[in-house]
Amino acid sequence: MSINSGSWNHSRNGNSKSSINKTHNSSINLNPRSSLSSSNVSVKSNKSSSSATSSLRRSSPASLSSAKNDAAVLGRVRVAVRLRPRNAEELVADADFADCVELQPELKRLKLRKNNWDSDTYEFDEVLTEFASQKRIYEVVAKPVVESVLDGYNGTIMAYGQTGTGKTYTLGQLGEEDTAGRGIMVRAMEDILAGIRLDTDTVLISYFQLYMETIQDLLNPSNDNISIMEDPKSGDVSLPGASCVEIKDQKSFLELLRLGEAHRFATNTKLNTESSRSHAILMVHVRRSVKDRDSALPNENGSSSHVKNLKPSVVRKGKLVVVDLAGSERIDKSGSDGHALEEAKSINLSLSALGKCINALAENSAHVPVRDSKLTRLLRDSFGGTARTSLVVTIGPSSRHRGETASTIMFGQRAMKVENMLKIKEEFDYKSLSRKLDIQLDKLMAESERLQKAFQDRIDQIDKEAQDRVSDAERKYADALEEERLKYQKDYMEAVKKLEEQWAINQRKQSNEASTSGAKHDMSVKSCTREVHANEEVTEVKRLLQSEKLLRKAAEDEASNLKMQLAQSKKQETAANSEMLKLHQMLKDEANQREKLEREIAMLQGQLLQLSFEADETRRRLDNGTSKVHVEVDTQVTQVQGVQPQTDDAGNEDKSSVAKLFEQVGLQKILSLLEAEDADVRIHAVKVVANLAAEETNQEKIVEAGGLTSLLNLLRSSEDETIHRVAAGAIANLAMNETNQELIMAQGGVSLLSVTATKAEDPQTLRMIAGAVANLCGNDKLQAKLRGEGGIKALLGMVRFGHPDVLAQVARGIANFAKCESRASTQGFRTGRSLLIEDGALPWIVHNSNNEASSIRRHIELALCHLAQHEANAKDMINGGALWELVRISRDCSRDDIRSLARRTLGSSPSFQAELRRLNVDH
């Protein structure tokens, strides 16, 4: 006998199998914004008790200077209950029995009948009947949470209830044939895509399932063991190993949901024809940019010009988590057996752990057991954290399942007592601001150069025009003076010549008159005549002098005009000089501003050099003690772990200095100095990056900003061994992260490290390179590629110096590689003999298996044990003398776990047993 979900029964592709006639539509006109602006912060009792609400005003987009990031608002978990209609089986089997649940949606209340005359009453935030539409469910339960996510808050939507009560229908229905049947996931993504700008904002989704306490990627089924990472400072939970896909439209989102649902585990039970056997979790990351208005800034003349205010744009990050829990069930009712029984036990254990956490939060307990299950670890932000959480509990009407229905209702009642501290997540987009500043600086420099060139061209033009005008005026003035002088000289000579001729005539006449003995009368007449002629001559000379005066005055007037033209030319030259001085002042101001920027850059470089020097001093002190890359070896595990060195007060002060520089200068500026022309600046910059890479919290930022690529480029292009040593140390720290390991391999990191190792002369450089390769050796997925690019041979080649630190890192890498090979052979992925043996590592392993240094000996002993676990290696190990070392380890090893592993390995290998019997050796 199976219990289906009536009109909500659906297949995994989202198609509805049956429908039910609705007598009325109970949807209510609801303003979703109003539901967001208030949240109930009071604690409800299990029975019918009054509830008080407090207003939660929506935050407006403002700058981070208001400290809104630090402000927190109480937000209680909101719980809605949804009743599933009777299915076909219940209509027949329970025809003579009344429903165990009575709903009072107008009072937000339900009654759970104990018998015909007694019942318990419970209140919820929303009570939804079996006739409530999918749209109303979304608007009441999910839409306020989605709007909070768009405003920069974290949000969680979760469905809880017995198997077959409609959780997957409520959350994951695709509604391909009937759009009215779309579930919360589809409707939430529609609202998110409608509320963002695709050109500036991003939406990323991950879809995974928690099956048998193992997290599996529904978008990439091969990724079937994802680990959970927690930020030690903020407590945020993340899954760096899960697929993260960017969504641009609703169609691609629906395709991803179909793909994920196809990979989800489901089976047929007596309670549900297609019961989910895993908890499905959809995680949506929304990143929105908040645009600031342009402000008008006054220019030098006092007038306002529209210049963009160079403030960093605000980025809001919200995360929406939609959780479709697997249904709780009783084994006797579901009929589960075999593997399905184990699945049911795992589901009930995780739901029980979730219930314990909610009980502890509701009772304000000092200890909340969030680490009892991976489900509670994933939901630690949803209950008692910073997320706005809405829970929909689904129940059935059948009295046969009254116990499960009561348990579900009590779960919802306890969840209503949990209060979260809602915090908005905003940050400055410093990368965008840096790009804007760089662009503006380039524009200013180009404009300055253009103005300087135009200014110089204008000066040359004005100078040339002034010189041409002065030369022309001087030439005209000289020509006019010469012309007047010649004219006056000619007139003067003509007048003198005429007077001389007249005087000669008069002399001849006087001579003739003196020689003649004429009468006195004639003499007087002649005398009168001479007097008249003399007067006429004087009058003529006066007239000529007057004419000469007039000509001289005209020449003087012409000279005055020329002087006026010359003065005007000089005024124009003065104006040109004034404009030239003004342009000189503008250039001087631009030069001052450039000098100021250069001084600031020089100051920052000085700080960088000082901090790098302090980091060098700290590194020298630490090199005598412990190294950056440490290894801890468990009983049978050789996983590399990055352990921060135990430093003294000076080391802590250096770290704080580097962190202060990181905050003031920014990672992008520090990385840009890796390409500086000055070799000293480049060396100090790579030391600062290496110190930052030692902190796990900085590694992701360094990789995202291109730091890993820059470090690899330094290994490729630089010949300085100091740079090689520090860059290899930074790469070794980054290689402790699995995601970074794949990036290092994809960019040819092993080949670069191998080439650098062949050139290195300093043992400390080889130690850093060996540490980086050893970290890569611990990745199962990269073994074939690492060996193909010469990683094993590079490790073996680095033992040429015999330095114990280098040998310890080489031994660690070989142990990691052997451990991964052993695991692959156990799982059936590898059948041939070890790649280590093929590359000739066995003689060195045997030779150093009893090394005096404990760190080297411990790794070699583990490597021998792991190689011996694969029968294909037995012949080579017997011939190479490794069997005797295994016997020695099983007897004399100081560590109990390694000694026990060696004994088990010898006892499980037929080849080893036969050889020991042949030699009559008792192990």
* Amino acid identity at 478: A
Whole-number pLDDT of residue 430: 66
Over range 93-118, report the average pLDDT.
80
Q: Which of 400, 426, 395 is nearest to 411 (CA)?
A: 395
Structure tokens at 244: 């993260």
Percent of the chain with pLDDT over 90: 20
User: For residues 169 and 183, is the Cβ–Cβ distance under 8 A?
Assistant: yes
What's the pLDDT tens digit per position in 114-158? 777 788 899 999 999 999 999 999 999 999 999 999 999 999 999
Separation between Cα atoms, residue 642 and residue 735, nearest integer Å: 9
User: For residues 410 and 45, is the Cβ–Cβ distance under 8 A?
Assistant: no
Better-predicted residue by pLDDT, 829 or 350: 350
Provide the pLDDT confidence category of residue 281 given band limits of 50, 70 and 90. very high
Provide the pLDDT confidence category of residue 269 given band limits of 50, 70 and 90. low
With 0-12 / 13-18 / 19 or more C-beta atoms within 10 angstroms meaning exposed / middle / buried, residue 464 is exposed
Buried residues in 47-78 as b, exposed as e (16+ CB within 10 A): eeeebeeeebeebeeeeeeeebeeeebebbbb
Structure tokens at 561: 């005009």
Q: Judge whether residue 517 has pLDDT over 90.
A: no
Over range 814-839, report the average pLDDT.
84
Q: Judge whether residue 389 has pLDDT over 90.
A: yes
Structure tokens at 840: 């000739």
Contacts of 714 (CB under 8 A, 6+ apart): 674, 682, 686, 723, 724, 727
Separation between Cα atoms, residue 38 and residue 32, nearest integer Å: 11
Q: Which residues pair with 288 in a beta bridge?
A: 316
Mean pLDDT across the chain: 78
Over range 555-562, report the average pLDDT.
82
Provide the pLDDT confidence category of residue 234 given band limits of 50, 70 and 90. confident
Whole-number pLDDT of residue 9: 39
Whole-number pLDDT of residue 292: 54
Q: Judge whether residue 46 has pLDDT over 50.
A: no
What is the SS3 assignment for 750-766?
HHHHHHHHHHCCCHHHH
What's the pLDDT tens digit per position in 247-267? 999 999 999 999 998 888 876
Residue with tokens 């000996």: 857
Q: Which of 327, 187, 322 is nearest to 271 (CA)?
A: 327
What's the pLDDT tens digit per position in 50-80? 333 333 333 333 333 333 344 457 789 999 9
* Amino acid identity at 209: Q
Q: Judge whether residue 654 has pLDDT over 60.
A: no
CA 657 from centre of chain: 23
Whole-number pLDDT of residue 293: 43
Whole-number pLDDT of residue 301: 46
* Helices and strands (H, E) in the chain, number of each type: 32, 23
Q: Which residues pair with 113 in a beta bridge?
A: 119
Q: Which of 226, 224, 186 is nearest to 205 (CA)?
A: 186
Q: Judge whether residue 376 has pLDDT over 50.
A: yes
Binding-site residue set: 161-168
Residue with tokens 């000082």: 610
What's the pLDDT tens digit per position in 899-918? 888 888 888 888 888 888 88
Separation between Cα atoms, residue 79 and residue 124, nearest integer Å: 6
Q: What is the DSSP letter of 466?
A: H
Other beta carbons less than 10 A from residue 608's beta carbon: 21
Other beta carbons less than 10 A from residue 294's beta carbon: 10
Separation between Cα atoms, residue 80 and residue 97, nearest integer Å: 26
Q: Which residues pair with 60 in a beta bridge?
A: none
Q: Which of 282-286, 403-407, 812-816 has the highest mean pLDDT?
A: 282-286
Contacts of 273 (CB under 8 A, 6+ apart): 2, 4, 9
- The pTM for the full model equals 0.44
CA 275 from centre of chain: 40
Whole-number pLDDT of residue 384: 84
Q: Judge whether residue 560 has pLDDT over 80.
A: yes
Binding-site residue set for ATP: 161-168
Other beta carbons less than 10 A from residue 581's beta carbon: 10
User: For residues 679 and 720, is the Cβ–Cβ distance under 8 A?
Assistant: yes
What's the pLDDT tens digit per position in 595-646? 777 676 666 666 666 665 555 555 555 544 433 333 332 222 223 333 333 3
Residue 819's SS3 state is: helix
Whole-number pLDDT of residue 30: 32
Q: Judge whether residue 286 has pLDDT over 50.
A: yes
Q: Report the greatest alpha carbon distance in the chain.
A: 193
Q: Which of 475, 473, 468 is nearest to 561 (CA)?
A: 473
Q: Judge whether residue 45 has pLDDT over 80.
A: no
The number of residues in the chain equals 923
Among 31-35, 224-228, 424-428, 704-708, which is the least confidently predicted range? 31-35
What is the SS3 assignment for 130-159?
CCCCHHHHHHHHHHHHHHHHHCCCCEEEEE
Residue 433's SS3 state is: helix
Whole-number pLDDT of residue 519: 54
What's the pLDDT tens digit per position in 744-766? 888 888 888 888 888 888 888 88
Residue with tokens 């400072």: 233
Whole-number pLDDT of residue 492: 85
Other beta carbons less than 10 A from residue 734's beta carbon: 29
With 0-12 / 13-18 / 19 or more C-beta atoms within 10 angstroms meaning exposed / middle / buried, residue 527 is exposed
Provide the pLDDT confidence category of residue 392 given band limits of 50, 70 and 90. very high
Whole-number pLDDT of residue 590: 81
Q: What is the DSSP letter of 384?
A: S
Q: Which residues pair with 238 in a beta bridge?
A: 229
Q: Where is 568: in which H helix or E strand?
A: helix 520-623
Correct CATH for 78-93+128-291+312-428 of 3.20.20.70, 3.40.50.1820, 3.50.50.60, 3.40.850.10: 3.40.850.10
Whole-number pLDDT of residue 25: 34
Residue 477's SS3 state is: helix
Structure tokens at 639: 């996983």
CA 701 from centre of chain: 7
What's the pLDDT tens digit per position in 450-491? 998 999 999 989 989 888 988 888 888 888 888 888 888 888
